[in-house]
Amino acid sequence: MFKVIEECLKMALTRDLEKPTIGVYYPSLLPSRLLRQYRIYREGIAVSLEKSGVFKIGELLHDFLSGALKSDGTLTCEFEKPIVLAVKHGESWIRISGRVDAVLSVNGENVVLEVKSISKLPGKSLEHHVMQIQPYLLALNNQRGLIVYLEKHRLSWRIFEVPFDGKLMDSILKRAKTLHESLTSKNPPKPERSWECKYCEFGSKCEESKLGPSSPPPSSKVLLKK
């Protein structure tokens, strides 16, 4: 019986190899180091059972928040709303594609809501999450969004307002274009040492991962969410 239960749990957590399509870039991944993204597109990532478990906890917390929001009669909520932005780059088009966790309608105003499960609540919204939300705000013509952090261990939360920032939007588009050029020319970007190296799936291929973080890690990891 033990074995059957263990097999069921493993099956529930096993994920297919994730290999995104070149030309389509994801707001959740674009703030990540360019070499890591390059390798994800070229080689794919086989998500370990341990990491898959972390994803699953995140999904359960998302469901918890969705249920809580649905129970309020004054809010209109749309969950997992897809967005696509198309941008001309040279002779080709690239797309920024993602899913907004929720769009809330309050007193006639739409607000983008992004939910993050995290091990320790931050004192301010984290840079890569602020960057991630910009394409959602642009695509849905919203001037502000909210990031809700849910702490995994205690189910406590903290909410931050994030305005649309044109400069950040420019920088995320620039990253998408640079990545696209690297991928289409098969010319990998240079390694960049950062806190991400510690969590990177490709650490064994990079000397940078052995040098230690160049900046302190925020208390959440950059995950691929389409």
Summarize as ranges the residues that interact with ligand SF4 (CB under 6 A): 33, 35-36, 191-192, 196-197, 200, 202-203, 206, 208-209
Closest approach of Cβ 181 to ligand SF4, in Å? 17
Instruction: Return the number of the residue (36 or 116) whose C-beta is nearest ligand SF4.
Output: 36
Run of H or E including 177: helix 166-185
- What does the alpha-carbon distance between residue 22 and residue 121 come to, in Å, rounded to a whole number? 34
Closest approach of Cβ 49 to ligand SF4, in Å? 21
Please work out, in degrees rounded to the nearest 5, the angle formed at the alpha carbon of residue 204 by the alpha carbons of 203 and 206: 65
- What does the alpha-carbon distance between residue 81 and residue 201 come to, in Å, rounded to a whole number? 28
Closest approach of Cβ 217 to ligand SF4, in Å? 12
Instruction: Return the number of the residue (125 or 209) whose C-beta is nearest ligand SF4.
Output: 209
Structure tokens at 107: 């007193």
Closest approach of Cβ 78 to ligand SF4, in Å? 34
Instruction: Return the number of the residue (181 or 201) whose C-beta is nearest ligand SF4.
Output: 201
Q: Are 125 and 160 in contact (CB under 8 A)?
A: yes
- What does the alpha-carbon distance between residue 58 and residue 81 come to, in Å, rounded to a whole number? 18
Instruction: Return the number of the residue (7 or 207) whose C-beta is nearest ligand SF4.
Output: 207
Strands 76-89 and 92-106, bridge-based pairing: antiparallel
Residues 6+ apart with CB under 8 A from 53: 13
DSSP 190: P
Closest approach of Cβ 104 to ligand SF4, in Å? 34
Instruction: Return the number of the residue (145 or 191) whose C-beta is nearest ligand SF4.
Output: 191
